Chains A and B, each alone.
Chain A
Amino acid sequence: KQEVTQIPAALSVPEGENLVLNCSFTDSAIYNLQWFRQDPGKGLTSLLLIQSSQREQTSGRLNASLDKSSGRSTLYIAASQPGDSATYLCAAGRANSKLTFGKGITLSVRP
């Protein structure tokens, strides 16, 4: 059974800092890995998807990497802004797109 862990549960950083959010998963036989953003009381917004054959994906200030052999993914956020404050969830995907989620990391960027 796939288990996804995100530590720490919460993170507070000053504006402008570069930061890394970590995600680990137990079963390396994944089809893909997705990172999502969730604002309070809202649904999930897809940020980046990395297919199992890829090592990283980039979108703007965001870069996600995947190391299947070690069961780890990271989300790098460059030059953080207060608008980046949200909960970030990673999810390991099977071929039928069923996702197993971590509990998320709640990020607070202080002005």
Chain B
Amino acid sequence: DTGVSQDPRHKITKRGQNVTFRCDPISEHNRLYWYRQTLGQGPEFLTYFQNEAQLEKSRLLSDRFSAERPKGSFSTLEIQRTEQGDSAMYLCASSLALGAGELFFGEGSRLTVL
């Protein structure tokens, strides 16, 4: 296993379209996190899962955003009716629930909404 994998790496879409991002965590990691990062800012927490349970969601996650982790392995983040303000890098990270809690990030999925 080489780390956290995200797909697609880049997505350009028109305003109003739906987009979906996928994240495959490190195989033995039971926690999975989604963050959003805009230019010049640090990543902001969106949501996290422990196994298949979504345990916390940020207020940044509007009704147009939904995340799933159906079998406790990979996760998807869907954005419906995209807006220009959704343009950002969407980062996925994973960790073990026990231990030091070190997070490992993927390369991110960059979304551009025209």
Residues on A close to B: CB < 8 A?
4, 31-32, 34, 36, 41-46, 49, 51, 89, 91, 93, 95-104
When A96-B48, A96-B55, A98-B48 are in contact, do A43 and B106 touch as well, CB less than 8 Å?
A: yes
Least CB distance, B46 to chain A, in whole angstroms = 10
Q: Could you tell me the distance between the alpha carbons of A44 and B31 in the complex, rounded to whole angstroms? A: 17
When A96-B48, A98-B56 are in contact, do A46 and B42 touch as well, CB less than 8 Å?
A: no
In the complex, chain A residues whose CB is within 8 Å of the CB of B107: 42-43
Main secondary structure, interface of B, reads strand
In the complex, chain A residues whose CB is within 8 Å of the CB of B31: 96-97
Q: Identify the closest chain A residue to B108 (Cβ).
A: A43
23 A-B pairs (CB sep. < 8 Å): A4-B42, A32-B100, A32-B101, A41-B110, A42-B107, A42-B108, A43-B106, A43-B108, A44-B43, A44-B93, A44-B105, A46-B102, A46-B103, A46-B105, A49-B101, A49-B102, A89-B42, A91-B103, A96-B101, A97-B95, A97-B102, A101-B43, A102-B42
